Structure 1
Amino acid sequence: MPDRVPAVLILGTRGIPAAHGGFETFAERFARYLAVRGWCVGVYCQREVDRVGTRISSQVWNGIERITVEVALKGPAATLAFDAICARDAARRGGVCLVLGYNGAAFLPFLRISGARILTNMDGIEWRRPKWSFPIRAYFYVSEWIAAWSSHRLVADHPAIADHLATRRSRRAIVTIPYGGDPPPAEVGPPPLGLEAGRYLVSIARIEPDNNILTLVEAFSRRYRGVRLVVLGTMSVHNRYHRAVEAAASAEVLFPGAIYEPDQVQALRVHALAYLHGHTVGGTNPSLVEALWAGNAVIAHDNPFNRGTAGDEQFYFDDVASCAAAIERVLTDADAVEGARAAARRRAENFRWGDVLATYEDEVRQLGGYPPAERVKAPTGEPVGATAGAEW
């Protein structure tokens, strides 16, 4: 009897092509990686409409089935409706379900009872984020437990996340797979926004309390620095925290808003004197991984997630005073900065997309009962179909 064609469905994101964040980027990369390796791949994609025309439709994109679900709602209600419809549809299709995040965990028990094999990336510890109200944090807390017990296997993207998940499930049910990254291209354009290479620090993050943006801005703005601080991220005058961040900023702080053009963001990273990372909740953060690949010296909040990703050779802080001290050292100690840059490039080797995608494929194969993949190597040493020679 010939081997079954391996099949996987990817749930939990807004869909592909990627346009919204780390999970969407991973979903696109993994789907394309599997498609060129002979898999049958389906990715659920959310479309918000005024009135539902065709609830579920399919289109083939780069050898991947984009399963588009129309939802005539907005915001969180739309997300929950989308997750419910995806779970119901996936239950009748077969194949392994790769679920990214646990926002729709309420529907996973139905999916499991229907016979689906479920691998869930548990993301960060969402219920710890201070930005959420108590009811929302309680919802995420319960959802985490539901996902942990409804899934056959759990993915942690950081050892500290694996330790946390081990309080919910046996370690035998948990695999640690980090987020991936790519080295920057050989030719990178000049920094945008009229900036001068090596004369600015950059932060790329949502402007939220658990990302410590106010701490970064207050620390930088304590005195004249002679360089710029570029804070990427959407700002709103209607948001109290955003107003506080802007009020704390000196004239040397630049708020360009969100920039989505990859070449501009890449240039901002590569030419920065240092990358500032204030995240306190989560695992292997995609933006921090990209900073390591760019060879950035990193000033990061001191917690197990950031140290476990960036390593001990970077600069760390836990309050405004220690952040100001770290900024001062970066601005005055060129040898320390060069050492941190070299350490970042070495550390980045732990986060190669080729290795990440191959490990995910192994997990999905085992869960689906498919035969092991042949480990054919590309000339670069990365698995065929990964970042080597592929256009992402």
Structure 2
Amino acid sequence: MQINIMGTRGIPAAHGGFETFAEELALFLVSQGHEVLVYCQNDHGESGVWKEDHWRGIKRRFFAPKSLGPRGTIEFDWACTRDVLRQPGVDLVLGYNTAVFSVAQRLRGRCVYMNMDGIEWKRAKWSLWAKVWFFLNEVIGANIVNVPIADHPEIARHVRKRCLKNPVVIPYGANPIEHADETALSEFGLGKDSFLVSIARIEPENSILELVRAFSSISTDKKLVVLGRFDGDNPYHNSVKKAASENVCFPGAIYDPEKVSALRYYCRAYLHGHQVGGTNPSLVEALGAGNAVIAHSNPFNRWVAGSDQFFFSDEVELREILDFVLSENTKLAAARHAAKKRHAENFLWEDVLVQYEKLLTTQFTKRQIKLART
């Protein structure tokens, strides 16, 4: 059968969690004998023109929208929706940001699965109109698709309030990091176990300012490495840098997987300040690297990281935890062991992808049998 993957910028992954997931899932499905089509956004091609190729056995269809930014994304999603109506198979839509377009798929009788992502309309960075748009699309998506998918039990509970359907819970995955090139640390002037790391968008809801401020208030020879893209015109970004002591490093956004793996694998602990969202890819990857985790205390992070990690509710608690983690080795080792165990039991890619294949093929087969009987 053919499975059509929509809602990402495309593969191979270069932009974020959904792209990584789309790549992992597409490659796995092809290895299992399925035909896979992934829609890819082409920001540098001729506007309004479709192009097609094959990459590692996966069919890719590229479309270049006329506009840039959010408007361009909406144009791209609408073009993909119109195109997929002519394709065979089932549709997997990643994210509900333009779920209203999936009405067209359902009106044509297509089988549509939708990963409901995080609770996007609650994010502080969006304007009122953007929040209204996301909220309406969340409600539409939850109600019109055949099967809503949640990557976290809390997301499933949230979606259940919006519709009568019972979402299927399948978490995000990550590959374990068993080793990394220690020499990659030299570029940053770091050594094994000499630093803590945070990998996140530099946004208030990710508690970056609190992380930097708390760490900077501590007397230590350890470093804090904050990975993320900084914009000199962004007031919040500037406030983060202003709060930093000389022991805080800002190398920017790094996309080299070997460097990122080394920073994860050799850090003393991973800092995760995300306050909203489902199963965050960066947190799952930290578990896969065997990191001790210091995370914001909320149901999302507590379920993913497990009870053996360190959680803070405010800056005072965070400072106390940092003091403890920077000096204590026994409980740190226990947290690292628990992280690897938690990852192996819940977030291995092979387990996640098998669940997706079973869902996509089983539900489609049931639907075909039902149609044959009518």
Q: TM-score, normalised by structure 1?
A: 0.90
Deviations 1:149-177 (A, max 9, x none): 121101110111111111012353x1100
**Is 1:214–1:245's contact at 8 Å kept on the other side of the alignment?**
yes
Amino acid at match of 1:321: V
Aligned match for 1:163, one of 109, 134, 157: 157
Matched, 1:22 2:17: yes
Deviation at 1:370, TM superposition (A): 7.3
Deviations 1:226-254 (A, max 9, x none): 11000000111100110110111111100
In the aligned structure 2, how far is the partner of 1:283 from the partner of 1:358? 20
Aligned-pair Cα RMSD in Å = 1.4
Matched, 1:131 2:125: yes
Greater helix fraction, Structure 1 or Structure 2: 2
Deviation at 1:94, TM superposition (A): 2.4
Amino acid at match of 1:364: L
3-state DSSP class of the match of 1:25? helix
In the aligned structure 2, how far is the partner of 1:255 from the partner of 1:341? 25
Amino acid at match of 1:348: H
Aligned match for 1:277, one of 272, 277, 282: 272
Instruction: Find the counterpart in structure 1 of residue 371 from structure 2.
Output: none
In the aligned structure 2, how far is the partner of 1:342 from the partner of 1:36? 32
Amino acid at match of 2:300: F
Instruction: Find the counterpart in structure 1 of residue 82 from structure 2.
Output: 88
Instruction: Find the counterpart in structure 1 of residue 372 from structure 2.
Output: none
**Is 2:306–2:342's contact at 8 Å kept on the other side of the alignment?**
yes
Amino acid at match of 2:138: E
Aligned match for 1:207, one of 196, 202, 207: 202
Amino acid at match of 1:113: L
Matched, 1:328 2:323: yes
**Is 2:2–2:90's contact at 8 Å kept on the other side of the alignment?**
yes
Cα distance, 1:187–1:210 mapped onto 2, change above 3 Å = closer
Instruction: Find the counterpart in structure 1 of residue 233 from structure 2.
Output: 238
**Is 2:297–2:313's contact at 8 Å kept on the other side of the alignment?**
yes
Instruction: Find the counterpart in structure 2 of residue 247 from structure 1.
Output: 242
Amino acid at match of 2:276: V
In the aligned structure 1, how far is the partner of 2:46 from the partner of 2:63? 12
Amino acid at match of 1:322: E
Amino acid at match of 1:93: Q
Deviations 1:268-310 (A, max 9, x none): 0110000000001111111101111111110000000000000
Paired-residue identity, %: 48
Instruction: Find the counterpart in structure 2 of residue 389 from structure 1.
Output: none
**Is 2:179–2:265's contact at 8 Å kept on the other side of the alignment?**
no
Matched, 1:178 2:171: yes
Instruction: Find the counterpart in structure 2 of residue 375 from structure 1.
Output: none
The 4+ residue runs of structure 1 with deviation greater than 2 A are 49-52, 169-172, 185-192
Deviations 1:2-29 (A, max 9, x none): xxxx111000000011111110001011
Deviation at 1:355, TM superposition (A): 0.6
Aligned match for 2:64, one of 67, 70, 81: 70
Matched, 1:352 2:345: no
Cα distance, 1:230–1:326 mapped onto 2, change above 3 Å = same
Cα distance, 1:177–1:317 mapped onto 2, change above 3 Å = same
Amino acid at match of 2:68: K
Q: TM-score, normalised by structure 2?
A: 0.95
Aligned match for 1:117, one of 111, 120, 125: 111
Unaligned runs of 5+ in 1: 1-5, 372-392
Unaligned runs of 5+ in 2: 368-374
Choose 107-116 or 302-311, whichever is displaced more. Answer: 107-116
Deviation at 1:50, TM superposition (A): 6.9
Deviation at 1:186, TM superposition (A): 3.7
Instruction: Find the counterpart in structure 1 of residue 257 from structure 2.
Output: 262
In the aligned structure 2, how far is the partner of 1:229 from the partner of 1:67? 41
In the aligned structure 2, how far is the partner of 1:251 from the partner of 1:186? 29
Deviations 1:185-224 (A, max 9, x none): 4453332412011010000000001100001001101132
**Is 1:296–1:344's contact at 8 Å kept on the other side of the alignment?**
yes
In the aligned structure 2, how far is the partner of 1:95 from the partner of 1:370? 14
Aligned match for 2:43, one of 16, 28, 48: 48
Instruction: Find the counterpart in structure 1 of residue 362 from structure 2.
Output: 366
